[in-house]
Structures are given as C-alpha cells and as structure tokens.
Structure 1
C-alpha cells in the first residue's frame, strides 16, 4: 500500500510542477501558487510514507 501512496505523492508533485511552470509561462500568479501548493502537499505525503516505512524496518 505504501508504494501506491508514494506513487500518488510523486504524481501530485509532478502535476504541481507542471501547474507552476504553466503559471509562470503565462504570468498567472494564482496558477503558480496552486502548483507550488500541490508540490508541497505531494512532498509532505511522500515524507509521511517514508517515515512510515522507516518505522516498519
């Protein structure tokens, strides 16, 4: 289960990076901020899953 959660977190980070880059390219500050937020959320989820894995070993 942790592997699928990590994959979701990576996908969220990638989607955030795309949103952020698109926002910068078109000059849309709101889209840039949404992208940054999604990347941060994905990073947090990935960290949580890594911590859970550390606890299992």
Structure 2
C-alpha cells in the first residue's frame, strides 16, 4: 500500500463523515463539501492503486 492509497482512503472517510454530518444538521454547504472531499479521496486512492499496479508490472 502506498502513500496515495492511504491518504486517499483517509480523505474519502473524512469526506463521508462530513457529508453525513451535513445531512444530519441540514447544512447543504457542509454536505456538498463532504461529497467533493470524498470523491477527491476516491480519485487519489485510484491513482495510488494505478501506481501500485504499474510498479508491480500489471
């Protein structure tokens, strides 16, 4: 597991928490911000997965 995979998963989790919190307290701004953060985390994790696959020669 590389740095991008770890950081991506962390950001994805933080974004999910923020999104759910925004829904609970009815804060659309926080909900949208959490959704964006979650998706950026997914993208970073995907980039890390791709890097790992390339390093392994897949």
SS at match of 1:27: coil
Q: How many residues align?
A: 56
CA distance in 2, matches of 1:30, 1:23: 7
CA distance in 1, matches of 2:28, 2:11: 19
TM (normalized to structure 2)? 0.88
1:5 partnered with 2:26: no
Unaligned runs of 5+ in 1: none
**Counterpart for residue 44 of structure 1:** 43
TM (normalized to structure 1)? 0.89
**1:12-31 matched pairs, under 5 angstroms:** 12-31=11-30
RMSD (Å), alpha carbons:
1.1
| Higher share in helix | 1
